[in-house]
Amino acid sequence: MAIQETIASKYWFGFDLDDTLHDFRRASADASTRVFEIIHSSDNKTSVDILRNTYQSILRSATANAFTDGRTSSEYRHERFEHLLQAYGLIDDSLLDRLLEVYQDSLRENLTLKAGALRLLQTLRGLGKKVIVITEGPADAQEWTVQELGIWSYIDILVTTNEVGKSKVDGLFGVVLEKYGIAAEDIVYFGDNVIRDVQAAREEGIPAVLYDEKQQSHLYDISVLRVNSWAVVENVLVHGE
């Protein structure tokens, strides 16, 4: 089955958010670097690269539950940056507050939609399709991101792991289908992660398409459907190609 057949009749279009509709990884990396630079200038001993490596270890541990415990983004960040400062003996509440503020401001400055994402969402709205974003992360942060990106008006439903209490690989998709009365055959889902997006969605019977800018699009086998740009999906919707 080709991608044309997979999406032509779908009423619901589902999307991951981070690194699917926008460049979260790059924006977060830039914001984190600003934080490391401030810490470095505060103690003049620990390099930015060492701070980055330590933070990556903290981040892997802190996000292992895929943000399913109901806390806010501010609480997560406060905890992560506090652990980073403590690792180098820098216990300073005013510095911590500054880091939180700088990270948020830098993240806002660097938020960027993926090429063609806005046009695709506009096309879906024009065709009378429904859009649902199913994403892992704190609910407040993902709502803020959607607002800052200027795409809130094109999204009918936004669901986060933080809100539901389940990660994608632990049954989030099934909960979403049941909660919103969506049949698996009426939705197609797009995401950038093979395991957490594509495989997890398919386990609930949802046709899923991998978004991967680094590989060529693969449009003719439902088991390995892949697009490398949103223009490809736009073209299928508008021209059936």
Residue pLDDT, tens place only, 25-67: 999 999 999 999 999 998 778 899 999 999 999 988 877 676 7
Of 133, 192, 198, 131, nearest to 160 (Cα)? 133
Residues 6+ apart with CB under 8 A from 41: none
Q: Which residue has the higher pLDDT, 234 or 68?
A: 234
> Is the separation of the CB atoms in 141 and 74 below 8 Å?
no
Q: Which stretch of 5-9, 134-138, 213-217 has the lowest confidence by average pLDDT?
A: 5-9
Residues 6+ apart with CB under 8 A from 111: 22, 23, 27, 145, 148, 149
CA distance linking residue 63 with residue 68, whole number of Å: 9
Q: How confident is the model at residue 1 (pLDDT cuts 50, 70, 90)?
A: low
Q: What amino acid is encoded at 176 in this protein?
A: V
Average pLDDT rounded to a whole number, residues 164-189: 95
Q: Is the pLDDT reported for residue 130 higher than 60? A: yes
The overall average pLDDT reported for the chain is 93
Name which CATH class applies to 25-110.
mainly alpha
CA distance linking residue 53 with residue 207, whole number of Å: 37
Residue pLDDT, tens place only, 73-116: 999 999 999 999 999 988 888 999 999 999 999 999 999 999 99
Question: To the nearest 10°, the Cα dihedral for 184, 187, 189, 195?
Answer: 0
Q: How confident is the model at residue 6 (pLDDT cuts 50, 70, 90)?
A: confident
- Global pTM? 0.92
pLDDT of amino acid 24: 96
Domain boundaries, the chain: 3-23+113-239, 25-110
- CATH architecture for segment(s) 3-23+113-239: 3-Layer(aba) Sandwich (3.40)
